Amino acid sequence: MLKVGCRWCDCPVDNGPSTKIYNPFNCCRRGFWLKLLDVLIDAGAVTWQHGYRQHLYQGAALGVWRKRGRRDQTIGRSRGGWTTKVHALTDVIGRPYSLMLMLGNISDVTAAPALLEHAGRMRYLLGDKGYDADRLRRSLREAGAIPVIPSRRNRKRTVRYHKQRHRERHLVENAFCRLKDFRRVATRYDKLAAKFLSAWRSP
């Protein structure tokens, strides 16, 4: 389903009724698997290696819905049409562990505070120019992290950053390229934001 992006009713008959496949996916939408993962982490059965640096990225996904309530489903009008932005945090080897949806016409730095609530402790945070803001840099330094974010072109005073370390941001680019191999992720077919976000978390 994630790879092809077809309708649930078009599942192969060899797998039985389509609801047999949809129900576990619907459990993911209700947050069941995330809650289970939190329990395993608290029990020490699962650990995340994200103590050194984090990567931020936004990727655009097409939104084709033009009905009422689209803003409630994180679909906003931008220069590319109706779109949704996907923001992600990854660990030091490029594994995404926090994903968040935003309207396509909302700036990247607006989503950063909510996304960083799931970051935990870190030494460095790698991001692109979309996250260049004095307020974000200040909050990171107060938390004991070093921002590795290049300056925007319209900055009057360029901010220095570690260019060699910033090259490691390709890890999150690789993660998005891998996720977008799944058609249901690369193009938004689901109207509900919760289901679309579940598709991103499922691979």
How many Å apart are CA 126 and CA 174, to the nearest integer?
Answer: 14
Residue 168 C-beta-side C-alpha neighbours within 13 Å: 16
Give SS3 for 147: strand
* pLDDT tens figures, 133-147: 999 999 989 988 899
Structure confidence by residue, pLDDT tens digits, 11-43: 888 888 888 888 777 766 566 666 765 676 567
Q: Which residue has the tokens 């901010």?
A: 159
Ordered DSSP codes for 50-93: -SSEEEEEEEEEE----STTTGGGT-EEETTEEEEEEEEEE-TT
What is this structure's pTM? 0.74
Residue stretches of the chain with pLDDT short of 70? 27-34, 36-38, 40-42, 44-71, 203
What is the overall mean pLDDT for the chain?
Answer: 77
